[in-house]
Structure 1
Amino acid sequence: MPTLFTRIIDGEIPGRFVWADDRAVVLLTIAPITDGHALVIPRAEVEQLTDAPDDLLAHLMSVAATIGRAQRSAWDAPRAALLVAGFEIPHLHLHVLPAWDESSLSFEHARHDVPAAALDAAAERLRDALRAAGHGAHVPTDASSPEV
């Protein structure tokens, strides 16, 4: 049975995509800890971090660093944080988010009431930062599709 993320990647469930390549996609979470909180997800259904082959992990980390740089630029954040948990969905994903301090890096601070318009605006802000940094080839032309 496909995971929730596979269903989003396949277009069965909507997502706010900001990055796509042949191995990974990045979309905004619907429960952000901070504005611009994104998920780096492999297209392949890998259950958790320790199950992923090293070359896939290297690719995901490279994408996460690119996303983090764009987040820092877009939100003027001093850091980009990376969290890996994966308890809620059995499909590897890296949480990348603009960060101002360590105390806010807890899923307890996830906001579940962010209006769709605010999530859309954050996604567009991140896509703009990625384009400005020269990564337009990986920014989906249709924000609801993981294709470039």
Structure 2
Amino acid sequence: MSTVFEKIISGQWAGRFAWADEVCVVFATIEPTAPGHVLVVPRAPYAKWTDAPSDVAAHLMTVARVIGLAQEAAFGVDRSGLVIAGFEVPHAHLHVIPLRDESDVLLSRAAPASDEELDRAMGALRDQLLASGHGAHVPARMSSAALS
């Protein structure tokens, strides 16, 4: 049985992607706690982050840092936050969230965002990743996790 994340990565279900490499993808959550809230998700479906091999876990953290730096610049925040919970989908993922204050890390505050809000936030994040020299990992189309 495929997880919702496998369906998003494969293109079976819609997604808004900011990053794609051989190991992981980054896409918008449809219920953000703050504009620009994204998920760093391994392509392989590990049920929880501690199931991922050490090299995959390290790569996810490296990508999360790149995304966090881009969020700080794109959304004018002093810091980004990282949350690893994984109760809602049995596929490892890291929440990377632009923080205006500590309450932005509370996943209980997540609420649906409009298509326009998600497109605007992901466009800003993608633009910042391009400006920061990460164009090789920004998918050509926001709707695709394709590597090129």
Ranges in structure 1 where 5+ consecutive residues have no aligned partner:
none
Give the TM-score taking structure 1 as reference length.
0.97
2: distance between equivalents of 1:137 and 1:100?
A: 29
2: distance between equivalents of 1:81 and 1:105?
A: 7
SS in 2 for 1:74: helix
Give 1:98's aligned residue. Answer: 98
Q: Following TM superposition, where does structure 1 have runs of at least 4 consecutive aligned residues deviating by more than 4 angstroms?
A: none
Matched AA of 2:122: A
Matched AA of 1:41: V
Give 1:122's aligned residue. Answer: 121
How far the C-alpha of 1:103 sits from its partner, in A, is 2.8
How far the C-alpha of 1:72 sits from its partner, in A, is 0.2
Residues 62-83 of structure 1 show CA distances to partners (whole Å, capped at 9, x for unaligned) of 0000000000000111111000
Count the aligned residue pairs: 147
Matched AA of 1:65: R
Ranges in structure 2 where 5+ consecutive residues have no aligned partner:
none
SS in 2 for 1:35: coil
Give the TM-score taking structure 2 as reference length.
0.97
Q: Is the 8 A contact 2:97 2:104 kept in 1?
A: no
2: distance between equivalents of 1:88 and 1:103?
A: 19
Matched AA of 1:101: D
The Cα RMSD (Å) is: 0.8
Give 2:136's aligned residue. Answer: 137
2: distance between equivalents of 1:78 and 1:111?
A: 22
SS in 1 for 2:145: coil
Q: Is it true that 1:146 corresponds to 2:145 in the alignment?
A: yes
Residues 41-78 of structure 1 show CA distances to partners (whole Å, capped at 9, x for unaligned) of 00001000111111000000000000000000001111
Question: What is the identity percentage for the equivalent residue pairs of Structure 1 and Structure 2?
Answer: 50
